[in-house]
């Protein structure tokens, strides 16, 4: 506690006939809202104290965040605040200075459960309650900081991979590439690209196959998703196939990953190998999304 002559910068409330609060059964009075530091606040005054802490022998006063429903789900605000009680006889304020407190959804109010005893307050010689009138006040200073970097990593336990297969018809008529329709695995959309004559440096030598995370095109720079996947190029007449496995972090700058040289073109088109029958080939994927990194919503300043 300390005393000062300057009045509170952000809020003042005068309560006339203070004793009638108790007589009228008003155990808690919430003031109008006021703004400080870009946020809205209110004082909560317990004339008979916050019973669980002050046992009715003290007046309790708390500072509460107001209008929090308009803030992000995970909002939090760090603020240093002071509660004031005017001394009419000395013409100054008794200042109860609080620590820096973190206001958030689970703890939206902080204050003093034993701000002043009812005996001290009601003794007119102390100057706080004169003619049954008293004045409370508040100052709130929000601790501003640079925007912090926030990242949320969700690790997923997948009991079995998602499987999907395609029958690619008229393989010999494919031009630059074949692409699958979009499919959903692990709450993300995917596509497969197959280049029958190869891609980049493998053009004319190998069949190229890639997996694309469609959603990753709209990811923020630090958002990403990790997937384990296996591509199977299946044979029609035997139980064996040509397979390749990989794990990859898909981002906005790395939306796809695969194999430029998945299988030699000569082997793919060799009728004795069984990959192409009646100008059709069989493609299958097994995919498991194992981790997602995203930006959770947080207020711009706290």
**223-231 average pLDDT score:** 95
Task: Please give the share of the chain, as a percent, with pLDDT higher than 70.
Answer: 93
Confidence of residue 145 (pLDDT cuts 50, 70, 90): low
**What mean pLDDT is reported for the chain?**
90
pLDDT at 300: 44
Do the Cβ atoms of 58 and 48 come closer than 8 Å?
A: no
pLDDT at 213: 97
pLDDT in tens, 28-37: 899 999 999 9
Domain boundaries, the chain: 2-142, 152-294
pLDDT in tens, 58-80: 999 999 999 888 887 778 899 99
Evaluate whether 2-142 and 152-294 have a shared fold.
yes
* Of the options 2.60.210.10, 2.60.40.1930, 1.10.569.10, 1.10.3720.10, the CATH number for the domain spanning 2-142: 2.60.210.10
**274-298 average pLDDT score:** 89
197-208 b/e (C-beta count within 10 Å ≥ 16 → b):
bbbeebeeebbb
Confidence of residue 298 (pLDDT cuts 50, 70, 90): very low
Indicate the CATH number for domain 152-294.
2.60.210.10
pLDDT at 200: 85
């Amino acid at each position: 506690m300390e005393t000062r002559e300057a009045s509170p910068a952000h809020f003042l409330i005068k309560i006339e006939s203070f004793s009638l609060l108790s007589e009228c059964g008003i155990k808690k009075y919430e003031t109008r809202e006021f703004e400080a530091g870009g946020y809205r606040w209110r004082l909560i005054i317990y004339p008979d104290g916050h019973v669980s802490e002050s046992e009715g022998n003290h007046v309790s006063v708390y500072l509460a965040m107001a209008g929090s429903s308009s803030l992000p789900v995970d909002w939090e605000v760090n603020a240093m605040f002071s509660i004031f009680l005017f001394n009419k006889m000395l013409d100054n304020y008794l200042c109860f200075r609080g620590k820096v407190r973190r206001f958030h959804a689970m703890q939206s109010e902080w204050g003093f459960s034993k701000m002043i005893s009812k005996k001290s307050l009601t003794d007119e010689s102390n100057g706080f309650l004169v003619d049954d009138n008293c004045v409370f006040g508040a100052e709130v200073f929000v601790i501003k900081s640079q925007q912090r970097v926030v990242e949320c990593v969700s690790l997923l336990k997948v009991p079995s991979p998602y499987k999907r297969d395609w029958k690619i018809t008229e393989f010999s008529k494919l031009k630059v590439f074949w692409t699958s329709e979009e499919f959903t695995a692990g709450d993300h959309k995917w596509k497969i690209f197959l280049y029958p004559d190869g891609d980049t440096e493998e053009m004319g030598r190998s069949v190229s196959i890639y997996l694309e995370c469609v959603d990753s095109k709209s990811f923020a720079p630090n958002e990403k998703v990790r997937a384990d996947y296996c591509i199977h190029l299946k044979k029609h007449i035997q139980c064996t196939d040509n397979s390749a496995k990989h794990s990859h972090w898909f981002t906005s700058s790395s939306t796809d990953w695969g194999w430029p040289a998945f299988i030699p073109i000569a082997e793919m088109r060799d009728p004795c190998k069984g990959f192409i029958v009646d100008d059709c080939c069989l493609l299958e994927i097994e995919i498991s999304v194992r981790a997602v990194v995203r930006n959770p919503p947080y207020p711009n300043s706290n």
